[in-house]
Structure 1
């Protein structure tokens, strides 16, 4: 046995061979540009430990953070026509849907689930900005209606996490029709005497803001979330005035009474549980 070739040489190769390192071990904060180790970021619910910036999250992540011990049941949602207008821009609409599903691992821009939050029943709908910018098409309208009906059936509050760029142009007027549909869905919950709570995340704009997103009994926002209808540049060009600093951000809106509170992501579950308890207790007292 040649100990140089059988033992020494493999040891030297192991010592000097560069090991492959995964590309996703570190993430850069878009606000402060600091690098964050992926485990630290996940442990802090995708909130930058350096500056407190709230990074965007997937619908699955939000459901895991919101429900007790990650225990929840997702519901199967209605499946609308895949391409009602046979729309095509640089790509066919079905091709865009396929790409979005592979990227986000969801069927559309919203997921609905039910479970327990701080020991209380709740139905939660979460929008995912990774799915064609969280745009609202027929599938989103169907999901909000289904979530509202489930909340009424279970006598549970309905909580919606919004994240959207607005209507989905590939569905044209069908997308715009979801605005009144979702408003009616929120009315079903309120007529049943159940709480409707909206959590506005970055960004919430366009037709979603102009419909169900601003109709909650309680309006909560994550820190720094962009919330509005039209973009700031469009508004400046229309009114021909310079907008104030922080315009359309969560902190500006709470100062001007548009929303009720700004809540850190790490405190969101506790806050939602407390609000549900207060609102449910109030309804029980009124009923008595």
Structure 2
């Protein structure tokens, strides 16, 4: 083994976006704001779905699960980055890095699988409307979410176990704001051929396979909508899946943007900046896309806000009483 190798390495350095001290407060404020908006927006969406019995349908059940995954998705990376900026430290322990990488891949996979399941839900709703309640039963919906979790856990465990077998050099600087899988592999001193093969094969089944499933569902949806005679009927049918289509497009196009940016520039810094789009911006925009384009969500959020305001007013009045 090369003398520079160190299989018992204890920590890594997360370089982040910039080493200029004057930019750190700006970066901290920007990412803290986006993180708070992401958590608040997705949490409100979950509360709206759970508090309104009219939203207890398969579509909103999957949407609530997607919002939960988005909250966890951003929580795996942003709080650690904010803490490092605040403490002016770039250190992350080996165990912390492996843990962060595991949960990041877990919730990335969960996002992809849930978007695929939601496409299937829209396919059944539009192509088989009379059998929708029978096909998309609560049992099947729960089973689909459970399968998404199981596949995501195994996918993440596979990559994590492959990284654990690697030995790392004394150069342990990660030019990213979190422990990204490809960056970890590039730091390894041992042979990474098997790791790269697993990444390509897993990406083929996970991302490409899910994308093909979404395209198939929407090809059937478009075919069914085209058979509707009235323009109003076509618009009504398409409007039920417009929000999901927007979220899918945003997620996949940002991921492709990260891939092509890093491939074209060969710069880890450019890749880190581009990664912000799907790791932070996309989860932040998802609740806005669903709430702004969905009357049921907007009405539910208004009712929830009114109830919360009423309870708060009642609480203050009771508190003032002797």
Q: Same-fold call, TM > 0.5? A: no
Greater share of helix: 2
Greater share of strand: 1
Q: With CA pairs under 8 Å and 6+ residues apart, which has the higher RCO, 1 or 2? A: 2
Compute the TM-score of the two structures, normalised by the length of structure 2. 0.31
Compute the TM-score of the two structures, normalised by the length of structure 1. 0.33
